[in-house]
């Protein structure tokens, strides 16, 4: 029986990536980001040590609601690149190649520029367009870039939330369920949850990240409010900055999140009622109107 030929992922060489990025910053390559074909110079591409198995996934970005496809795309990417380690998954050369070549059609549809090149008539519009492309088509190597890159954001969203009870079995033993992507579903339920939870500094702590998602999972009414999510993550991020919550045990961290959320909900209720004494908490379980999935108990 013939042995299948081993395949490895292509990535840009550093010099090639530098040229592509430089030409975009100068505006020379801007017009090309309105076109699907992308010319790859063979000398600017190399094989990585990332071995590929199976067929490359087809990522989709529906015109009406591209956010709704994020979950499906994240799971497909994470499954395909399941053997990536975090060092490889932080390589700017990989993600730039995937956005510019491998998944260019998706990236154009999801994170491309509106209109046509002719619409960029003044310098300010050109600068804004270039900055937008830099944000979503390239990675400079920091966490924030990885969270915003068209393709990296999907893989990392799944990677950071995949079966936390396997990554940290003692801490998250109580969360174990049949769906390893359960918390990926919570994270990508809305763009607000993703941005507020993952793009803040505290998102670097897997224990804090999963604990917040667990709270939102069990409190869909709270999770349905963009403002409440923003205030909750803002307060927790401040606590993270003072190093007061990194070492908390599971029960203490859960209690802290519940207390902060309760305060946020109370403040929101008071503000909505014009400061009256009638107060209520909005962290109510079982409200089916929110976009988050059912809790995985």
Give the DSSP per-residue string, 77-104: HHHHTTT--TTGGG-HHHHHHIIIIITH
Predicted local confidence at residue 279, as pLDDT? 37
Q: How many helical (H) and strand (E) elements, i.e. helices and strands, does the chain have? A: 14, 2
Predicted local confidence at residue 3, as pLDDT? 52
Does a structural domain hold residue 287?
Answer: no
Domain final position from 112, 133, 158: 158
Other C-beta atoms within 10 Å of 243: how many? 8
Predicted local confidence at residue 276, as pLDDT? 42
Domain match, 142 and 11 both = yes
Contact 161, 105 (CB under 8 A): no
Domain match, 118 and 223 both = no
Domain final position from 158, 191, 218: 158
Domain match, 151 and 250 both = no
Query: Among 98, 130, 107, 100, which residue's Cα sits nearest to residue 117?
Result: 130
The answer to whether the predicted template modeling score (pTM) of the entire model surpasses 0.85 is yes
Separation CA 217–CA 213 (nearest Å)? 6
Does a structural domain hold residue 84?
Answer: yes
Domain match, 38 and 142 both = yes
Domain match, 130 and 204 both = no
- Containing structural domain, residue 144: 7-158
Which helix (H) or strand (E) covers residue 45, if one does?
Answer: strand 45-52
Does a structural domain hold residue 262?
Answer: yes
Does a structural domain hold residue 292?
Answer: no
Separation CA 143–CA 200 (nearest Å)? 10
Q: What value does the CA radius of gyration of the chain take, rounded to a whole number of Å?
A: 21
Predicted local confidence at residue 65, as pLDDT? 85
Domain match, 79 and 143 both = yes
Domain match, 154 and 11 both = yes
Domain final position from 158, 173, 194: 158
Predicted local confidence at residue 100, as pLDDT? 97
Does a structural domain hold residue 278?
Answer: no
The count of residues in the chain is 297
Does a structural domain hold residue 289?
Answer: no
Number of domains in the chain: 2
What are the residues whose beta carbons fall under 8 Å from the beta carbon of 243, sequence distance 6 or more?
A: none
Domain match, 214 and 92 both = no
Does a structural domain hold residue 294?
Answer: no
Does a structural domain hold residue 177?
Answer: yes
Domain match, 47 and 129 both = yes
CA dihedral sign of residues 56, 20, 140, 7: positive
Domain match, 56 and 146 both = yes
- The pLDDT tens digits along the chain (297 residues) read 455 688 999 999 999 999 999 999 999 999 999 999 898 999 999 999 999 988 999 999 888 888 889 999 999 999 999 999 999 999 999 999 999 999 999 999 999 999 999 999 899 999 999 999 999 999 987 788 899 999 999 999 999 999 999 999 999 999 999 999 999 999 999 999 999 999 898 988 999 999 999 999 999 999 999 999 999 999 999 999 887 898 999 999 999 999 999 999 998 755 555 554 433 333 433 333 345 666 676
């Amino acid at each position: 029986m013939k042995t299948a030929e081993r395949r490895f992922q292509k990535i840009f060489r550093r010099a090639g990536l530098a040229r592509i990025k430089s030409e975009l910053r100068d505006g020379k390559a801007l017009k090309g980001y309105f076109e699907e074909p992308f010319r790859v110079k063979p000398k600017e591409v190399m094989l990585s040590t990332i071995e590929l198995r199976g067929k490359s996934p087809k990522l989709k970005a529906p015109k009406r609601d591209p956010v709704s496809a994020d979950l499906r795309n994240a799971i497909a990417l994470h499954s395909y690149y399941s053997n990536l380690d975090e060092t490889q998954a932080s390589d700017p050369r990989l993600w730039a190649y995937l956005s510019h070549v491998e998944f260019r059609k998706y990236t154009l549809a999801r994170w491309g520029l509106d209109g046509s090149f002719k619409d960029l008539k003044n310098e300010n519009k050109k600068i804004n367009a270039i900055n937008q492309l830099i944000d979503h088509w390239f990675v400079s190597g920091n966490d924030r870039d990885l969270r915003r890159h068209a393709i990296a954001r999907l893989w990392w969203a799944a990677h950071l939330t995949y079966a936390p009870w396997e990554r940290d079995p003692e801490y998250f033993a109580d969360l174990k369920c049949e769906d390893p992507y359960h918390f990926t579903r919570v994270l990508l339920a809305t763009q607000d949850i993703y941005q507020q939870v993952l793009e803040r500094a505290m998102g670097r702590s897997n224990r804090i990240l999963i604990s917040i998602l667990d709270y939102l999972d069990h409190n869909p009414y709270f999770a349905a409010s963009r403002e409440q999510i923003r205030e909750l993550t803002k307060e927790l991020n401040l606590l993270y900055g003072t190093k007061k919550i990194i070492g908390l045990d599971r029960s203490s961290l859960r209690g802290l999140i519940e207390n902060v959320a309760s305060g946020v909900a109370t403040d929101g209720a008071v503000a909505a009622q014009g400061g009256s004494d009638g107060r209520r908490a909005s962290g109510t379980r079982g409200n089916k109107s929110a976009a988050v999935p059912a809790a995985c108990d």
